[in-house]
Amino acid sequence: MEDGTSMSLGHCGDTDYDVLQWDQREDCEVRQILDRIADKWSLQVIALLDRRSLRFTELRRMIDGVSQRMLTRTLRHLERDGLVSRTVHATVPPRVDYALTPLGGTLHATIRALVTWTEEHQSEIATARAAYDVRVAAEQEEAAAEAAGRDAVARLVLAVRR
């Protein structure tokens, strides 16, 4: 076995509980779910399984670039969290079906809000980035010019002294 977030989960660190916010607590449930959905493959898996249940190899083919190892790991994590169910059919060759659980379905629905937000605001973000990058570039040029100015002065001083 490779890992597993350990069993002693608990309800986050409970120091000054009432003063702190969900996002203040280290390793709380929110963080764990966030880490799960933010990892490279989980979200794609969830989205695909929301349409219909799929076999291992079907998922593997549909998710471009995923390795067997990573797909297995991702599915195990999702299964452990109760977001995805795994049914093994004792046939030859073996057949394993993965499906989204009701719980997983509600999570996917929730995530959609974030997707919608992103779609609605992506142009604002792009604009902000462009503006930021320009600003940074300008500052760098300024700094370079200043440095060049200092050098010029230094050379002048040397020339005069000679």
Using CB under 7 A, list all residues that contact DNA.
1, 3, 39-41, 55-58, 65-70, 72-73, 75-76, 86, 93-96
DSSP 15-33: SSTTTS-GGGSTT-HHHHH
Q: Is the separation of the CB atoms in 86 and 95 below 8 Å?
A: no
Q: Which is nearer to a copy of itself, 30 or 153 (CB)?
A: 30
DSSP 53-103: -EEHHHHHHHSTT--HHHHHHHHHHHHHTTSEEEEEE--SS-EEEEEE-HH
As measured in angstroms, the least distance from the Cβ of 87 to DNA is: 10
Residue 55, contacted partner among a copy of itself, DNA, none, CB below 5-8 A by kind: DNA
Which residues sit at the interface with a copy of itself, rule CB under 8 A?
Answer: 1, 4, 7, 9, 21-24, 26, 29-30, 33-35, 37-38, 43-44, 46-47, 63-65, 79-82, 103, 106-107, 110-111, 113-115, 117-119, 121-122, 124-133, 136, 140
Distance, in Å, from the CA atom of 101 to the CA atom of 74, rounded to the nearest integer, reads: 15
Residue 87, contacted partner among DNA, a copy of itself, none, CB below 5-8 A by kind: none
As measured in angstroms, the least distance from the Cβ of 39 to DNA is: 5
What backbone phi and psi angles, to 5 degrees, belong to 20?
A: -80, 160
